[in-house]
Every structure is written in C-alpha cells, then in structure tokens.
Structure 1
Amino acid sequence: MSEAEQVEVAEKQQPKGPVDFTDRTFELNETYVEDMFEEMRRENRVSKYFIRHQPLNYLNKKVLDYIFTMCTRLRLPPDVRFTAALIFDKYMSRQTAQAHHFIDTLELTQEQKDQQWDKTQCNIIRQLVLRLASCIQIASKENKFDDSLSNEAVTKMLVAVGSPYHPQAILKSELRVLSTIDYTIPQSPAPYMENILKVLANSDRALKHCNEVWDHALLFLDMTFAYQRQITNEFNCQLNEDAPPNKERKAVQVMGDWMLVGSACIVCGLGCVHGMEVADQKAIVLGDITKIDEQHIVQLASTIMKTVRAERQRSAVSTP
C-alpha cells in the first residue's frame, strides 16, 4: 500500500466529530477570504432565485421532523438534513407539477381528470416514506460523508420504520428523485453559516465557546426551517413598522438567502452563549463580513428567537 493510500485509510478510520472552530489546521489565508465570500454571494443569489420562484411549500413541520429525526438517528452531519429537506421540496414541487400537466393533457372529462388525480395523489402519498429516504440518501452522498447511506442501509432504515422495500426499488427511487430534480442539488444553508462563524472567530480571537455557539445556531436553523412562514411574515412586518414613513415598503426574502439566515442564527447562538449585548455587537461585525444590512440580521435574529419562544409556550399549553 502506498503512503497516499495509507493516509486515506487512516483518515477514513478517524471518527468524524463536530465542527471545531478552534482548529486552525486548514484555515484559509486572509488573502482569499473575500474571494470565498464573493463566491458565496454568487451561490446565494442562485439559491434566492430558485426559492423565490419555487417556494418551500412541501416543507411542513411533520416532514421536517421526520427528516431531521432520521438524520439524527443515523448520526449524519448537520448539513445532510438541510440538503435532504431542500431536495425533497424540489422533488415534490416538480413531481406534482408534472403530474398535473400530464393529467391536463388527457382527453378526459373534468370528473375523470379529478378521479385520475385522486389516484395519482394516493400513489404519491404511498411512496412518500421511500422518497424521503432517497432524499436523505442523496444528501448523504452529496455531503461526501465517508459512511454515506448505501441501499442496504436505507433498506434497514425503512424496515425499522415499518416500510420494507427491496434494494432494487430503493435504487430506482434514488434515480427517480435525481432525474426529477435534473441532478441538481439545492444549496444548504449550513456551509454558509459555518464559513461565516469561522471568519468571525478568526477576526476576534477573544471570542470564546464558538463550538457552543455553532451548536445553538444549528438548533435555531432547525427552527427557522420548521417555522419559516411565521418567521418570514413577522420579520417583514417588523421591518415595515420600523421603516421611515416616506420609505417604500417591500418584502425581504428570508428562505433562500442563506447568508442572511446563517448570520441571524449565529446572532441567536451568540445571544444564548454570551448574552444579547455581545450578540448585538457581533451583529455589526457580521454585517461588515457579509455585506448584509445589519438591521436585517438583528431583526431576523430577534424574530427567530421570538417565534421559538412563542411556539414553545404554545406547545407547553397544549400538552396535557
């Protein structure tokens, strides 16, 4: 075995732990940081464009709970669950649109078309668990995770949740999802947030407990996905209320603007670990780093925390 092969085997044998923001082994030279952010902004514009024209209509809380729970039980990296959720929404949006278009082209009465759609809808629902598993499998491979989900692993996962499928059916489902989304994987917000926090940590060596900030920020990112509509609506309402009377009011996109969402979740994490005074101070730095309006970062962070508190109180009241 060559030295390069030995290194590769050794790396694969090492356990993959959480992100360590104190490790400077592969730190990017400051000369290239702005180039990195320019590329991130370009990709961010693409994400905003696609989600603006294809809103996340299929990511309800029940679907997200399922995806996030499965990814956690399988001990997959955080990025996988967000990528899987976005793949699922993209697949469902296109699959539903294609089914509607096909039925509309049939020479049938409206009543017959409605009956055909009911059958199609039942078929989509019946295969939902399999498609969700395929989205997680694709996301795990896209993440380049060493233990990405094989067909055998997905088979065991589906058996565990009471939905047994043959490995061949799992392979066909994976290919079906990939072909429907044109083999184009949506951008996940996790890498944006990770890079932004890493640059923030490098810019202020006195900032402690960045790993804890990251863990909290991930939880707030989970909540942002789960309550995206409430957060987006409340965020824009607050912005318009605070705007000067003579300023034109317009909606600010939240989902898809992963640089804004990532920055806001970092501020939430900083608030939990260091207190809101430090969080507000670092929001100014984040605005300078990302070239995002500081007011938008602070307001979105405030809206996320407010929504999370409200939902927790609502859950506590509804729980007997």
Structure 2
Amino acid sequence: MSVKRVQMASKFKADAEMKMGFGEVSFEILSDFLTVLNTQNKSNLQNLSGFCGNFKVKRVVEHVFCICEELELDPLVGYHAIEILDRFMVKHIENLFSVQRNASSEGDSYRAKENHEHRILQRLGENFPVFLFSCVQIASKLASYSSALDNRSVSGLLHSLGISCPKQKLLKSELLILKTLDFQLSVPNPLLYVETLLEVLGHNDPSIRVPQLHRVCRCVLQFIFLQREKIYQSLLEAATGSHSPSSEQRAKFASVTEDCMLLGVGVIAVSAFFSHRAAWKEVAKELALITGISVRSIINFAQMTLAHIT
C-alpha cells in the first residue's frame, strides 16, 4: 500500500476508534432507534422498484468490499455504498430510457432504437467504475465528513486502476447521483440493522457475549452479500416449491430479498449457530420477540444460509 493510502487509512481508523462500544447506549435510545429502523424498513419495502437488487451482484460487492478494505473504511461505509449504488443505477437507467422513449418518434426504425439503446448501455458501462467510487465517496462522507474520501484521493485511486478521471468528472458524477436520488441518502444499511439488533439482544439477555457474536456477524453478513444471488434463489425455490419460479413470483419475492430486518435476524441466528450452537434456537426465539418476525422464518433463513456455508 502506498504512503498516501496508509495516511488516508489511518484517518479513517482513528475516526472509527471514537465509536461507542456495545452496552454503552441506554435501552431507551436503543428502543427508539430500532423503531426508526423498523419504520424505515417497512417504508422501503412498500416502495420497491421492480429492478431493485440488480446491482448487488457478487462482482460489484467484491469491488466495494476491496476498496473499503484497502482504505480501512468502516464496513458500514461499504454496505451503505452498495445500497446507494443499487438505487442510483436503477433510477438512472429508468430516467435514461424514459428520455429515449420520449425523444423517439413513431417513424424511428427498430434498428435505430436498438442502436440508441446500445449507446446508452455502452456509456453506462464506461461510467460505472466512476459511479461506484462516487457512491463509496458519498457513503464515507455520511459516515464521517471530517475524514471522508475527497475527489483528489478518488481520482488517484481510479488512475492507479488505469481509469482516467479528472476531479471535475468526479464532482459531476457525485452531483448526478445526489440529484437522481433527490438527495435521499438515508437508505437501509444491513450492518446497522445487525448491530442494533445485537445491542437489543445483549440488553435482553446479558449472558450472550455480544462482542464475540458481533465479530462472527460481520463475517456472516459479508458472506451472504457475496453469495446473495445463490442464497436468495434457494429461499425463493423453497418458498414457491419450484426450481423455475415465474416472473410474478420473483417480483413478489423482492420484499424478502430487500428486507433488512429479516437479513439482520438471519445473520445473527447463523452467527449464534457458530458461537452458541447449543442455544442458537433460543437466540432465534428472542429475535422473534424483538422484531415480530416468526421463529420459523428466522430459522429457515439461517438453515438455508448454513447450507451454502457448509
């Protein structure tokens, strides 16, 4: 790692050390915050795009995780960046094709429309690395503005990957993302759900070693994100009883794939299986009481994930 990157990483590391530890937040604040997360989650599930999740594929997730690891960014930044990127790309593509449809006349040939769509997709492919880095940059600012990635740093990182990107282009990319999302950046962060649920779980049952469970949870959540397509495909097939679910069934299942509360309890249940195997189902029951998600749903999610791990 270069000297510049080491210096940047140390800034983020120092900032992370200022975070409060488990058990240091009052239960009243925890309870209120969990209520806010639950409301946010439900609102998000009620306003899903039919194309949500299309940019949470393994290759994209790997790139974001590698960037955050290289710069020693808080993992929260990575998950937030992935959520921002997915929402932005879906809406941006919808906007581009909407403009194209409005601009096309009835006399345009099929070939002309096809060529125009090809140019749009080609341009998106060329700009995608910049969009990805911009989303990481935005997420880093939301995590800690005093030590966030600046345009010079991001431009240097892109240059090291063989991508020429002046600072002005980065600024335009960031503004495009912000405007496309109407500056609505408070998107569900899966790791935040996991950590909040862990806090509440530790308060309800002090015998649970939350710091140890937290370390395992981070690994499990990362695994699920990297194997997201396979795990949720297995869950979909189990729910529908079909190896070839219909388009309608897939569309309805989006409320499962985008449910951060379900993901949070599932991650903790899987982690408890590894850390407290004798009592992992008791942990699932406690999580059901906290969230209102059925024990069966939590265990099904955990068992399907475990099947992919083992």
TM-score bracket, normalised by the shorter chain, equals 0.7 to 0.9
Show the counterpart of 2:6.
none
RMSD of aligned alpha carbons? 2.6
Mapping of residues 85-164 of structure 1, within 5 Å: 85-105=82-102, 106-107=104-105, 108-144=108-144, 146-164=146-164
Paired residue type of 1:35:
D
Show the counterpart of 1:81.
78
**Rounded Cα–Cα distance in structure 1 between residues aligned with 2:206 and 2:298:** 22
User: SS of the counterpart of 2:163?
Assistant: coil
Mapping of residues 142-291 of structure 1, within 5 Å: 142-144=142-144, 146-185=146-185, 186-208=187-209, 210-238=210-238, 253-275=255-277, 277-291=278-292
- The alignment's TM-score, normalised by the length of structure 1, stands at 0.81
Compute the displacement of 1:239 (Å): 5.1
Does structure 1 retain, via aligned residues, the 8 Å contact 2:158–2:164? yes
Compute the displacement of 1:69 (Å): 0.9
Per-residue CA distance 1:81-101 (angstroms, 9 max, x = gap): 111111111111112112222
Per-residue CA distance 1:110-132 (angstroms, 9 max, x = gap): 21111111122111111111111
Task: Mark the runs of 5 or more structure 2 residues left unpaired by the alignment.
Answer: 1-10, 242-248
Paired residue type of 2:299:
V
Fraction of identical pairs, as percent: 22
**Rounded Cα–Cα distance in structure 2 between residues aligned with 1:269 and 1:52:** 31
Compute the displacement of 1:295 (Å): 1.0
Compute the displacement of 1:62 (Å): 0.9
Does structure 2 retain, via aligned residues, the 8 Å contact 1:239–1:299? no
Paired residue type of 2:164:
P
**Rounded Cα–Cα distance in structure 2 between residues aligned with 1:35 and 1:87:** 25
- The alignment's TM-score, normalised by the length of structure 2, stands at 0.84
Query: Which runs of at least 4 in structure 1 moved beyond 6 Å after TM superposition?
Result: none
Does structure 1 retain, via aligned residues, the 8 Å contact 2:13–2:73? no
**Rounded Cα–Cα distance in structure 1 between residues aligned with 2:221 and 2:172:** 32
Paired residue type of 2:61:
L
Paired residue type of 1:102:
V
Paired residue type of 2:148:
S
Does structure 2 retain, via aligned residues, the 8 Å contact 1:48–1:255? no
Paired residue type of 1:193:
V
User: SS of the counterpart of 2:117?
Assistant: helix
Compute the displacement of 1:21 (Å): 4.9
Show the counterpart of 2:294.
293
The number of equivalent residue pairs is 287
User: SS of the counterpart of 1:164?
Assistant: coil
Match of 2:62 among 62, 65, 90: 65
Compute the displacement of 1:236 (Å): 4.3
